Structure 1
Amino acid sequence: MSTGNVELLMRVSSILCLIGASYGFVPLDYYLLDCGSSTNSSVGDRVFVGDDFNSNTLSTPRNISAKTTLRPISSSYDSVLYQTARILDETSSYTFPIKKRGRHWIRLYFFPFVYQNYNLRMAKFSVSAQNITFLKDFQVLNDSQVREYSLNVTSSNLVLTFTPSSKSFAFINALEFLSLPDELTPESVRTIDPQGSHQSLSNKALETVVRVNMGNETVPPQNDTLWRLWVSDDRYLIHNNLAKFLTNTKAVNSTRAKAMENIAPLTVYGTATKLNSDDDPNLNANVTWRFDVDPGFEYLVRFHFCDIVSSPIHALFFNVYINSMLVSRNLDLGHLTSNIIGAPYFMDVITRKSDSSELNVSVGPSDVGNPWPDAILNGLEILKISNSKGSLDVLDSDLRKSSKMKVGVIVGLALGMFTAVILAMGLFLLCRRRRRYTHVSHSKVEENFATTELESKYSNNGTAIFSSSKIGYRFPFVAIQEATDNFSESLVIGAGGFGKVYKGILRDETKVAVKRGFSRSKQGFAEFRTEIEMLSLFRHRHLVSLIGYCDEQNEMIILYEYMENGTIKNHLYGSNLPSLSWRQRLEICIGSARGLHYLHTGSAKAIIHRDVKSANILLDENLMAKVADFGLSKCGPEIDKTHVSTAVKGSFGYLDPEYLTRQQLTEKSDVYSFGVVMLEVLCGRPVIDPSLPREEVNLVEWVLNSQKRGQLVEIVDSRIASQIKPESLRKFGEIAEKCLAEHGVHRPTMGDVLWNLECALRLQEIGRRSDPNGELSSQINPVNNLETSVSTAQFSMGSVCDLDGVSMSKVFAQMVREDMR
């Protein structure tokens, strides 16, 4: 029986290879297993064979198979592969005879569900083959996963071993094992650090981190000869406004594409993301994608290029970067492809080990060739390279090993100085008892968040048990489905890079805004966690409040207080909402400034928002402004530091130019972004509007140029131009201009901005006094009569706001008295 099953498996594999011949590459080793199934399953033109317990392929002490009717929430692979699972409660293995030694792919399919006494989410196990560790103490806590590995098989058999962790078990839903084309994986690849050297990959295993198709189009597995999934690049772009998506498969040279179809399908080379320089011949910026990676490993990065954009007149030249390192300067695709128009080309490089969990890939304009800035990328693959221990798991990373060695050295030194340390600690504790802490410790909050979950406030039947504060509840997914009518499109109130926002109503009639993220990725989860951390830490009337969150079933959902009047952006332009008055706009700016000022000064470390824009300032039913969306927020520098060095994140048009060029983040970066918002408020138009004349496309440049010419009044939103008092406009324009200073050191603090905005509001209210004839006059009292002026309110606030060295206490007192009337 067992021998017959192996022969059947081999026979089916041979038939499938013949079928695959029409598509190009025919793998000699071709095994597709539907684990836990007693029957075969068809997936497109491929057949996954049930992994018979009695076959020589599977070796396990007990026959435990599981079934489910559940389906993954989001998967690009056929859900039939997830309907069964093989449960392995002791060390078990799959053995595959090898016809051709060399590179093979191993794809592992996982989907956790509950079957009888087995909750597959509780499974914890390791997977290895040929002395390579693929997974160590691995758990699948959420939706389906597919792990893909490339291994150079050097024996006549491949044994894939599953080892349950202590008091746990392993499982697998389906697996693929097939030989690969020789040309797919290079023997040696050049490194970018140091430049010019090469590294052999013959004894290395690889794990696919991400495979991306540029041009904002996904290529499903059935459209690839090797059944690869190419995900769309839009989720990884940092600044979407700098990118332009293209589709032009007709421009691809079909002969060359056919010859390279095992490298990448024609669809990948026929789509591209390019630098969006159509409206700016002087644009000097890069298109950048950000990916999450495991620190402590080297990575093989494969770039796919195909010139589907250039004309016969101008050749395509551009630069390619990984992080801050140059990969290729003045890349000339024409030269590399022997001037064959539309010929595909790919380039491999290896990155060095890093302690960073992010990898940035960029393409940008060259200083030669086409005078118009241009750059293009068609596809990208990032593969993790096994380390010196023969492992691909982050638990075995060389970085962790190095850290442990450092800890060992430190411990040894500590033991050697035991007596001195005890004395020092004693003195420290005595001093510490006398100290009083006045600020919240960010590090403690982050530590607690990483190890605990916010308390669930739902009973078993899903009924809310709210306290009066309604802060930090962990909601079950079913309750959120109920609140949003199963995420009805009719309840969508917004959308962004994270996902869609829905209006929801909880069972206690509380209105909430429900932000549902895209399928969980490492990058998305980082922003999800950051936002919950920040909103749990701070409470302020001008910051949007957290109601709760949900992280079940691979979901990333955050519930906020519902803001009846949406974003300030929608009230300024792009919708049919009623226009805001100048006073309302000033009050909204003041409220937003108060929220940001609190972030910058409300705790021991400043919190930098990093994504201040009009779309992230929300209005409640009374048009009170609240700052929202803290997914990109970051703690400010230490006391002895001037800035935080970090990768650039934010929104195009609002980014601090100093942060953009130096990657040095400070609170003044928020101040710059807020200055841009102030200009939107003043002019009632977008930050970038390509439909306008060239000198007006960029709002910041247009306003600052008008300010220099003394023509600020001429560019004010026509709907409010007649409402603004000259003194109020002058004060508002001055502080906005200071916010937009090129260097952060020359910008005011948010506290200064807040004070000046309040001055602008008071100037609007008091303005110029009317004389007996009904004419307006600008009566300004002398400085030496300031005290009398304050007591009678007979002064121009314009003069007071500009006074140097004069105490503001009387001014504030007068403001308070007038507000109480």
Structure 2
Amino acid sequence: MVNFRLPLKRGSKEKGSNSYPFSMEKLHFLMVLFILLNLQFPSLLLLSSASTLPTKYFINCGSVSNISLSGREFVGDLNVGSFSIGPSSAISILTTNSSTDTSLYQTARIFKSQSSYDFDITDFGFYYVRVHFFPFFSGRTNLADAHFDVSAFNFSLLSDFRIKDNSNSPLIKEYLLTINAAKFSIHFTPREKSFAFVSAIEVFLVPDKEFVSDELDLITPSGLSDYRYAGVRSELLLTIHRVDVGGPQNNDSLWRNWIPDDDYLLPGESGKTCVPYEGTLNYDVNGANNYSASDLVYKTCRELNIEGSEGSSNYSKLTWAFDVSRSAMHLVRLHFCDIISKDASDVFFNLYFYGNFTHMISTNNISNLLAAPLYYDLVVESDDSGFIDISVGPRKDSKNKTAYLNGVEIMEFMKGV
């Protein structure tokens, strides 16, 4: 089931003087023209809607300085504005570490007792929350010695948490949740005889009110898809995988990091990277939009290598294995964009979980154009193996007997405290 849908915007009418009389016939003509343009070029609406990016909250913890990073302004939390901080202290690195590519991680905030960051929320909806950790030495304090819990909205974000002393790069935990309250708090609770810390925080509204549906198909460990999961929007989700299949590492408009799929593709799979698409993507109002993923995700893919398989009645599958928590619920988002066909009706193929057929994939159900991005959302329950296996394979009744995949995101449902 395709989760995404974006309604068309309606035009507005304003009062004002007009030197030239405007007939009802002309007005009707312009309205019809506007509707036809929207139908013919729906991506124009999507592009215009994607022009506004979030401006808050981006917090530089333990600092008085503001830091600009990739289009975000991280505000020093000593300049408290529309957020507040509980009992805590600031700490700064004594010697600048040249291995870090930003001064964002030169300070941190320490909590020696339970405390929190409290944010004023003016717009309700889906929010990304990112918590950054970068341990360093400062005097007698080694942030790598911290041992603590983090929670929000009665959900456990991190439990019994210790961070490894890795001086090369920060650890960033990303969550997706619905906020429908005027206040949002992130609580830090040190374990006995220890402390908690945080280097930076992001809390920002996703500019898409229909980002995730509340009810989705449920895939069980046996691969069955006869059930539905209701209440997805009430869950708090932890991002554990975000993969650009067949493409390079890249970042998108919401500062999400996509990594290549090489480490997840099972050895010996008969796949090949697609020829990168160089044209303009045909975003459709019923498919994905500019906030779903980077253009590069949809302009790259991995497809089944069917060379030499003509005449064979058996077609192989492409399979990826993703490490996950055992016996847990996950939101799995699969990105598709047909950049390999010559006609929009050439390719439709099968999607499998744990080796069992679950859905038929056809971008023609969304758009009659090629290079039209879309995604499928499903709730997948993991088994005891600690892996979720995802496969795509061709159908015998497809004109072009191949299969492809552009991107994968997997988010774990977090448990209550």
Fold conserved between structures, TM > 0.5: yes
Secondary structure of 2:57 counterpart: strand
Is the aligned partner of 1:344 residue 2:370? no
Q: Say if 1:28 and 1:79 are closer, same or farther in 2 by CA, change over 3 A.
A: closer
Q: Distance in 2 between matches of 1:152 and 1:57?
A: 19
Secondary structure of 1:47 counterpart: strand
Q: Distance in 2 between matches of 1:28 and 1:47?
A: 10
- 1:214 Cα offset (Å): 1.1
Is the aligned partner of 1:192 residue 2:223? no
- 1:259 Cα offset (Å): 6.7
Q: Say if 1:112 and 1:272 are closer, same or farther in 2 by CA, change over 3 A.
A: same
Structure 1 counterpart of 2:352:
321
Per-residue deviation, residues 519-560 of structure 1 (Å, max 9, x unmatched):
xxxxxxxxxxxxxxxxxxxxxxxxxxxxxxxxxxxxxxxxxx
Per-residue deviation, residues 21-59 of structure 1 (Å, max 9, x unmatched):
988263677200111221111113221111117667343
Q: 1:111 aligns with which of 125, 134, 144?
A: 134
Instruction: State which drifts further: 271-280 or 250-259.
Output: 250-259
Q: Distance in 2 between matches of 1:122 and 1:53?
A: 28
Secondary structure of 2:144 counterpart: helix
Report the AA paired with residue 370 of structure 2.
Answer: I
Q: Distance in 2 between matches of 1:142 and 1:373?
A: 49
- 1:278 Cα offset (Å): 2.3
Structure 2 counterpart of 1:267:
296
Structure 2 counterpart of 1:86:
109
Q: 2:246 aligns with which of 206, 215, 218?
A: 215
Q: Distance in 1 between matches of 2:384 and 2:397?
A: 35
Aligned residues: 359
Higher normalized contact order (CA 8 Å, seq sep 6+, divided by chain length): 2
Per-residue deviation, residues 128-180 of structure 1 (Å, max 9, x unmatched):
11111100111111432111001211211101111111111111111100011
Structure 2 counterpart of 1:772:
none
Q: Which structure has the larger Rg over C-alpha atoms?
A: 1
Report the AA paired with residue 195 of structure 1.
Answer: S
Structure 2 counterpart of 1:333:
363
Q: Distance in 1 between matches of 2:78 and 2:88?
A: 12
Q: Distance in 2 between matches of 1:314 and 1:57?
A: 52
Q: Say if 1:31 and 1:287 are closer, same or farther in 2 by CA, change over 3 A.
A: same
State the 4+ residue runs in structure 1 displaced beyond 4 angstroms.
Answer: 53-56
Is contact 1:252–1:269 with CA below 8 Å preserved after alignment?
Answer: no
How do 1:582-621 residues align onto structure 2 when only pairs under 5 Å count? none
Structure 2 counterpart of 1:303:
334
Structure 2 counterpart of 1:560:
none
Instruction: State which drifts further: 45-54 or 23-32.
Output: 23-32
Structure 2 counterpart of 1:287:
318
Q: 1:141 aligns with which of 140, 164, 174?
A: 164
Report the AA paired with residue 304 of structure 1.
Answer: H
Is contact 1:97–1:157 with CA below 8 Å preserved after alignment?
Answer: yes
Q: 2:237 aligns with which of 206, 219, 225?
A: 206
Q: Which runs of 5+ in 1 are unaligned?
A: 1-20, 392-821
Q: Distance in 1 between matches of 2:104 and 2:48?
A: 24
Q: Say if 1:368 and 1:226 are closer, same or farther in 2 by CA, change over 3 A.
A: same
Q: Distance in 2 between matches of 1:110 and 1:97?
A: 23
Is contact 2:304–2:404 with CA below 8 Å preserved after alignment?
Answer: yes
Secondary structure of 1:30 counterpart: coil
Report the AA paired with residue 182 of structure 1.
Answer: K
Structure 1 counterpart of 2:38:
none
Report the AA paired with residue 188 of structure 1.
Answer: E
Instruction: State which drifts further: 51-60 or 303-312.
Output: 51-60
Q: Distance in 1 between matches of 2:102 and 2:344?
A: 49
- 1:241 Cα offset (Å): 5.3
Report the AA paired with residue 332 of structure 1.
Answer: S
- 1:327 Cα offset (Å): 2.4
Q: Distance in 2 between matches of 1:240 and 1:228?
A: 30
Q: Distance in 1 between matches of 2:162 and 2:99?
A: 16
Secondary structure of 1:234 counterpart: coil
Q: 1:39 aligns with which of 65, 68, 75?
A: 65
Is contact 2:353–2:390 with CA below 8 Å preserved after alignment?
Answer: yes
Is contact 1:29–1:177 with CA below 8 Å preserved after alignment?
Answer: no
Secondary structure of 1:267 counterpart: helix
Is contact 1:27–1:179 with CA below 8 Å preserved after alignment?
Answer: no
Per-residue deviation, residues 361-412 of structure 1 (Å, max 9, x unmatched):
1111222213x6411001111011134xx26xxxxxxxxxxxxxxxxxxxxx
Structure 1 counterpart of 2:272:
244
> Which structure shows the higher strand fraction?
2
Is contact 1:33–1:174 with CA below 8 Å preserved after alignment?
Answer: yes
> Which structure shows the higher helix fraction?
1
Q: Say if 1:165 and 1:118 are closer, same or farther in 2 by CA, change over 3 A.
A: same
Q: Which runs of 5+ in 2 are unaligned?
A: 1-46
Q: Say if 1:324 and 1:379 are closer, same or farther in 2 by CA, change over 3 A.
A: same
Report the AA paired with residue 104 of structure 1.
Answer: Y
Structure 2 counterpart of 1:168:
194
Q: Distance in 2 between matches of 1:86 and 1:313?
A: 53
Secondary structure of 2:410 counterpart: strand
Q: Distance in 2 between matches of 1:81 and 1:152?
A: 27
Q: Distance in 2 between matches of 1:29 and 1:103?
A: 15
Q: Say if 1:291 and 1:255 are closer, same or farther in 2 by CA, change over 3 A.
A: closer
- 1:307 Cα offset (Å): 0.6
Q: Distance in 1 between matches of 2:393 and 2:90?
A: 54
Q: Distance in 1 between matches of 2:54 and 2:68?
A: 20
- 1:212 Cα offset (Å): 0.7
Q: 1:383 aligns with which of 411, 414, 417?
A: 411
Report the AA paired with residue 198 of structure 1.
Answer: R
The alignment's TM-score, normalised by the length of structure 2, stands at: 0.79
Q: Distance in 2 between matches of 1:277 and 1:294?
A: 34
Q: Say if 1:297 and 1:304 are closer, same or farther in 2 by CA, change over 3 A.
A: same
Instruction: State which drifts further: 108-117 or 318-327.
Output: 318-327
- 1:252 Cα offset (Å): 5.2
Report the AA paired with residue 352 of structure 1.
Answer: E
Q: 1:277 aligns with which of 279, 303, 306?
A: 306
Q: Distance in 1 between matches of 2:256 and 2:119?
A: 22
Q: 2:155 aligns with which of 132, 136, 139?
A: 132
Is contact 1:132–1:205 with CA below 8 Å preserved after alignment?
Answer: yes
Is contact 2:148–2:190 with CA below 8 Å preserved after alignment?
Answer: yes
Residue identity (%): 33
Q: 2:256 aligns with which of 217, 221, 228?
A: 228
Secondary structure of 2:278 counterpart: helix
Per-residue deviation, residues 245-296 of structure 1 (Å, max 9, x unmatched):
1243335534439971111222111100111222333362211111111113
